[in-house]
Structure 1
Amino acid sequence: MRINRILLSTPLIVVALVIQVSILGRLQLPGAVPDLLLLVVLGLALVYGHVGGALIGFGAGLLADLAPPSDHAIGRFALVLCVIGYLAGLTKPDSGQHRSATVPLMVVIGAAIGSTLLYAGVGALVGDTAARHVGVGGLLLSATLYDLLLAPFTVPLVMALARRTEGDPLTGDGTGGQSGTAKGREAGYSWLSTGTGLKASRGRMPKAARMPREARIGGQRGGLLTRSARNKAGRIKGVKRL
């Protein structure tokens, strides 16, 4: 993972977790708690892709599992946000930027519903039945509503910050390495085009070079025979040829 991604993601996740635990968690809202940490993970995953989204989601979920007042098994949030970050990162277009807000909005809705269901499902596997007493339907409705209200103020800002880090030439899964490889290939094979250009600049081939091989050999033999005959005639006549 890129160093600049870590330097940006870490403070964003820490600030979001502190706000969620100390402020949003104390509002005593009906149903679910507004998940600011989830929105930050989604904003980063929409820019960094599925690999970065999965890693960031796992780290953010692990911090949420360890942050007080944690009343569940460690690893539940890590698993949920890792899966959500991976799936959200799959929506990243090849151009690297979404053309409209429709896809991020659908991602927020799907993540709010999916994270609630996945968290309740994992809790059922480990014996946590708190979601049954609260009501999964009420949690889904309230979580989706709260996340949609917070998304316009959170996701675009996080995505804008994340795009600024993508301009730095660091190692990673971006397209810079591919373009550099293409340039290297062009530079490596440029001697072929240079050689072709030199041949082309020399002009057309000589007429003798374009003649068939048999004709050139026959002409060379005829020239040798004619020269020998001339030399012999010169010796007979006593004429010194210069």
Structure 2
Amino acid sequence: MRFNRMLLSTALVVVALVIQVSVLARLHLPGAVPDLVLLTVLGLAMVYGHVGGALIGFGAGLLADLVPPADHAAGRYALVLCVIGYLAGLAKPENGRLKSASGPMAVVVAAAIGTTLLYAGVGALVGDTAARHVGLVSLLVTAAVYDLLLAPFVVPGIMALARRAENDPLAEGGSGAKAADVSSGWLSSGTGLRIGGQRGGLRAKAVKARVARAGRIKGVKRL
């Protein structure tokens, strides 16, 4: 990943994690907690693609595993977000622009449900049965609803920031300079053609003037 991607992704994930731990987790909503980190990973993955989404998801999940009050094994959420980030990156638009909001909303709902199922499945493998006591169905429903309600305020802004960071000023300057060189090349070529055409026209005019002058002289001699 490029440096600007890493810097932006790290900043956004840290901010999302701080807000989630300090604000959203303290709302004591029924069922699941709105997953702002997941929405951040989804927004970045739909701009950077599946490889970038997997790397960002792993880093964000590992950071969430280590930040208090995490009560699960380290690496559990990193694995889940790595898979979700990879799959979300596959939904990246070909031209980088979204035609409608239905696609990202479907990705958010699928990611919320998939994250909850994967997290519960990995927990079952390591002996964590907390999801059974809370109720897996209620977690799935509330996670999908909360993330879907929060997504319009998060995902578009994340994607806009990611696209803006992709437009590197240095890269733009280089492409602009290259375009200017190409333009100047086209202009110089066109100017050369014009100069050549003007020279040819002047020569033709000179030849015509000489012929006319010769005709006049001959006509005078004939008279």
**TM-score past 0.5 threshold:** yes
Equivalent residue runs for 1:158-237 within 5 Å = 158-168=158-168
Aligned-residue offset at 1:60: 0.2
Mapped contact 1:48–1:89 kept (Cα < 8 A):
yes
Match of residue 112 from structure 1: 112
Match of residue 61 from structure 2: 61
Match of residue 235 from structure 1: none
Structure 1 unaligned residues grouped into runs of 5+: 184-242
Aligned-residue offset at 1:100: 1.3
Question: CA 1:170–1:147 in structure 2 vs 1: closer, same or farther (change >3 Å)?
Answer: farther
Work out whether 1:143 is the aligned partner of 2:143.
yes
Aligned-residue offset at 1:94: 1.8
Q: Which amino acid aligns with 2:139?
A: L
Q: Which deviates further from its counterpart, 98-107 or 83-92?
A: 98-107
1:51-107 deviations in Å (ceiling 9; x for gaps):
000000000000000000111000011001000000000011221222111110110
Match of residue 4 from structure 1: 4
Give percent identity, aligned residues only. 76
User: Which of the pair has more CA radius of gyration?
Assistant: 1
Structure 2 unaligned residues grouped into runs of 5+: 179-223
Q: What is the alpha-carbon distance in structure 2 between the residues aligned to residue 156 and residue 114 of structure 1?
A: 21
- As a proportion of its length, which structure holds more helix? 2
Mapped contact 1:2–1:170 kept (Cα < 8 A):
no
Q: Which amino acid aligns with 1:75?
A: G
Q: Which amino acid aligns with 1:85?
A: G
The TM-score normalised by the length of structure 2 is: 0.75
Q: Which amino acid aligns with 1:2?
A: R
Q: Which amino acid aligns with 1:159?
A: M
**What is the alpha-carbon root mean square deviation over aligned residues?**
1.9
Q: How many residues align?
A: 175
Work out whether 1:44 is the aligned partner of 2:44.
yes
Match of residue 93 from structure 2: 93
